[in-house]
Amino acid sequence: MAKRKLESEVVSIISLIKNKKHFLLNGGAGSGKTYSLVCLLKEISSLYPKARIACITYTNAAAVEIKNRSHIENLQVTTIHEFLWMNISQFQNELRDVLVELVNDKDGGITNPNQDTFTLSSDIIIQYKEHTRLAYGEISHDEVIKISKVMFARYSKLCKIVCSKYPYIFVDEYQDTSPQVIDILLKSLQSVSNPSIIGFFGDSMQAIYDEGVGDIDDFISEGIVNKIEKKQNRRNPSKVIELGNKLRTDGLIQVPSEDADAPNMKNGIIKDGTVSFFYGSNFTNIYSHPLLESWNFQDPLLTKELRLTHNLIADEAKFDELLKIYDSDPILKLKNEFKKYIEKKSIEVDNEKSFGEVLESTNWIYEKGKNKGKSYLEVLLSNEENHELYSYVKDKPYSTISRMYWDKDELLDDKVEIDGSVVKDVKRDAFVKYLFKIQSIIIMYEQKNYKDLLKILERQIHSNADKKSIYKILEGLLDVQYKSVGEVIEYANNKNICVKDDSFNKFVEKNEYLYWRISNLQFKVVQNLFYYLEGRRVFSTQHKIKGLEYNNVLVVLDNGGWNKYNFEYVFDDTIFDKLNVAKKKTYPKIKQRTEKIFYVCCTRAKENLAVFYPNPSQGVVQGAKRLFGEKNCYNIDCIIESNSY
């Protein structure tokens, strides 16, 4: 078989590598950067068969994809955290010293778990975990990066070892990489003789995470890194490419792919596609528009409706009751605010007294604002819905209520799956994990996936009687959507289908109030959240779909009160002069952040793109007409029988 011709960009990179030059392959959305990376890996392996290559990715999912597509023996593909840990973990003494130093340094970036000087005995082995417990030598993602930055800057031996081990280090999705990691690669590793050649792949316009470096323009302007642009687009139809070029702020202009077999080509010609901008007050009108009639909003593999936050999706996806408890429970908020108050005022409380007694014994009033002079408890109970909630906790020991804690992120965290295998597990709390395990059992039974079902149930079938017994029990879980969460839990536990384990019991013991609240919800709310997080619903957050693509994409431009984003800034060129002094200061960063998330959303579309803006100003409408073309902008509040808008 004839060897496939290398892309011109890869040829240029090979030339740079031969001359021991660092490089950046900068390509817009859909340009096939991962394809170029895999081609380069294979070519390097062919040219230098004994050389070890390190490929650093942003996610475990990306690491799996690159491994599966390259099949190179001397290739090490890991996430950045895994790569750093793999190289620093063997130097335990130095690691321990740096950790102690950073914890005790008020500017070290690692919070001291207590007020005393932090120490670690020499027999403690530092371990990399999903959580942080410094007293036990357990560190997580953030600590790994901070410690690595110091260790690579301080210990040249470490740099020499890494450079000797990996002559070539390539970074995928570089824009999401921490600036500290960039310093390790382009400063610390370059301070030794025969340093590694560093290659970056990514797109600064898709830098949607604030913790990422965003770009490495300073290193490019200094001649340290050589920039190569990949302009071809293999994903988007021509109208989406045209829009994307208008949205980019870095000067990169994408062109259709020269590959007749590219996904965005049909019979050797670039697909036209559609782009549409809708605006108005009644969002639901959009679904009846002729341009969206052919969209299948029931198939999440073909169509996605993108919103900025989970909160903006919750109502539509019908898990809002559950999210509200996790996100804005009034009793949890009351408890948190009270703890801050007594700490600030140095008030000692009797932990054996009831929660209500402790609250009422302090002079806890609003010192400013519209409720000035009123007690916090009075304000809480002014809402009738809060009476039942407070009644549940007021007679319980203060020590019990004061330690209850739950986190919205532990409700909504998501796993990453490749080819049916989980490559990034979830960081959900024990309660949610337990509920989702029940739902997984239900789905397996419905789909007659008995093999996996019996594994998760940890059951063995020795006879037909065993089979009938288990299946009869499982039948009792099929119609549970209108039963309460508490009923379903007790059934699953009592029938030994999903037994309450130690982690579940420990969590519930600490958060009895949370258990009580959720137990009263219908189980269908849990099911709705499960289906959403599993990608079985058409809804998704705008951040979650980075790297993915769909035939039809609907982007809803509502910031949901999140002041880090402002879609008005993207469209209205006149808005800056109307802002107050404070907003003018934040304008550049917010505009840039919003432009990037909008670009990422628009470039997910393989066929059709629709954008909806609720109640826009005239300036926004004019901006939309410039970007989308006047004929592609529609006021959905003005539907008439002729279907003109």
pLDDT, position 37:
94
* Distance between start and end Cα atoms, the chain: 56
Residues 6+ apart with CB under 8 A from 263: 234, 235, 606
Task: Return the exposure string of 265-291: e unless at least 16 CB atoms fall within 10 Å of the residue's CB, then b.
Answer: beeeebbebbbbbbbbeeeebbeebeb
Kindly state the tokens that stand for 360: 């009422």
Angstrom distance (rounded) from CA 261 to CA 263 = 6
Nearest to 328 by CA among 344, 349, 311, 315: 311
The Cα–Cα gap between 275 and 605 comes to 9
- Pairing type for strands 269-270 and 265-266 reads antiparallel
Question: Which residue from 214, 212, 197, 107 is spatially nearest to 150, judged by alpha carbons?
Answer: 107
Tokens standing for 255?
Answer: 């062109």
467: burial class by Cβ within 10 Å (0-12, 13-18, 19+)? middle
Q: CA 561 to CA 582: how far, in whole Å?
A: 17
Q: What's the CA gap between 516 and 263, in Å, rounded? A: 51
Under 8 Å between Cβ of 606 and 236: yes
- How far CA 580 is from CA of 19, 275, 566, 575, in Å, comes to 52, 34, 15, 11
Evaluated on CA atoms 479, 481, 483, 489, the torsion sign reads positive
Q: What's 593-612 look like in SS3?
A: HHHHHHHHHHCCEEEEEEEE
Local mean pLDDT, 10-residue blocks, the chain (645 residues): 74 97 96 92 93 88 81 90 94 95 90 82 90 88 94 96 97 94 96 96 92 92 97 96 96 92 93 97 91 94 96 95 96 94 90 93 89 92 95 95 92 58 62 94 92 80 83 90 96 92 93 97 97 93 90 96 95 95 96 96 97 97 97 85 41
DSSP string, 285-351: GGGGSGGGTT--TT-TTTEEEEESSHHHHHHHHT-HHHHHHHHH-HHHHHHHHHHHHHHHTT----T
Q: Using alpha carbons only, how large is the chain's radius of gyration in Å? A: 28
Q: Looking at residue 62, what is its pLDDT?
A: 77
Query: CA–CA separation, 356 vs 267, rounded Å?
Result: 73
pLDDT at 414: 67
Q: What is the pLDDT of residue 487?
A: 97
Residues 6+ apart with CB under 8 A from 527: 439, 481
Note the pLDDT of residue 3: 56
**Cross-strand bridge partners of residue 276:** 610
- CB under 8 Å, gap of 24 or more: what pairs does 348-351 form? 349/398, 350/398, 351/397, 351/398, 351/399, 351/402
Q: 378: part of which helix (H) or strand (E)?
A: helix 376-381
Question: Per 3-state DSSP, what percentage of the chain is helix, strand, and coil (rounded to 5)?
Answer: 50, 15, 35
Residues in the chain: 645
226 phi and psi, to 5 degrees? -100, 125
Using N-to-C axis directions, what is the helix angle for 512-519 and 485-494, rounded to 10°?
100
